[in-house]
Structure 1
C-alpha cells in the first residue's frame, strides 16, 4: 500500500488482509466503539464478535485506495471483497485515534 496511514490504521488493515482476528482487534482501545452502518458495538469483545461474524466468516478484506484527514478523523475509502452478496462493495471508514489506538471506527457503504 503506497498511501501514508497512521500506524494503528495501517496495522489494522494489514491484519484484516491476513484475516487475523486477534490482530484486527488488537489495534482498538479497550473501550473503542465500532459503528457499522449506524449500529454501535462498544468494547473489544463486542468488536471481536462483530468481526468473527461479519468479516472473518465471509473472508471480507478491505483494500483502501484513498485517504484524507477531515475534522480530526482519518477517512479511508476503498472496496471490500469476500464471500458476501454484491462483492466487491465500496466502503468509507472514518477512524478516530487516541493514544496510539483506534478509539472509534465508523463504516458506511
Structure 2
C-alpha cells in the first residue's frame, strides 16, 4: 500500500511505541479524540500516547487510506492488550502543512 510519508511515520512511531516521535507529527495546537476524551496540544498528545502504549502496547497494520476535501481516513488493524484485540479502527485526520491538526479514532 502506498501511504503518505506522514502516515508511514505515524505507523512507525506507534509500532515502535515512540511517544516523542508520534507526538512530533502533530501541530502545536492539534487535538486528538479517543475513547471519549479530547487531548489538546503536543504535550497532552504525548502523554496520551505514552499512557496508551503502556496500557495497551498497540501496533498498527495499515488496511486503507483515502483523502478528500474534508480530510483523510487511515484504516488500520489495531492489535494490543485491549479487550477485542485486534480491531479495525479509522483514524480520521485533518492534515495541514504536513502535520496532523486533528485526529479522531473511531471503530
TM-score, normalization by structure 2: 0.89
What count of residue pairs does the alignment treat as equivalent?
A: 107
Other-structure match for 2:105:
107
Post-superposition offset of 1:77: 0.9
Other-structure match for 2:11:
13
Other-structure match for 1:61:
59
TM-score, normalization by structure 1: 0.88
Q: Which runs of 5+ in 1 are unaligned?
A: none
Post-superposition offset of 1:46: 1.0
Other-structure match for 2:20:
22
Aligned with residue 83 of structure 1, among 64, 81, 84: 81
Q: CA RMSD in A?
A: 1.4
Q: Following the alignment from structure 2 to structure 1, what is the Cα–Cα distance between the partners of residues 106 and 52?
A: 14
Q: Secondary structure at the match of 1:76?
A: strand
Other-structure match for 1:97:
95
Would the alpha carbon gap of residues 83 and 38 (structure 1) be closer, same or farther in structure 2, given more than 3 Å must change?
closer
Q: Secondary structure at the match of 1:77?
A: strand
Q: Deviations over 1:15-69 (max 9, x none)?
A: 1111111111111111111111442111011111111112343211121111111
Q: Following the alignment from structure 1 to structure 2, what is the Cα–Cα distance between the partners of residues 82 and 66?
A: 19
Structure 1 segments of 4+ aligned residues over 4 angstroms from their partners: none
Q: Secondary structure at the match of 1:55?
A: helix
Q: Using the TM superposition, name which of 64-73 and 86-95 deviates more.
A: 64-73
Other-structure match for 2:2:
4
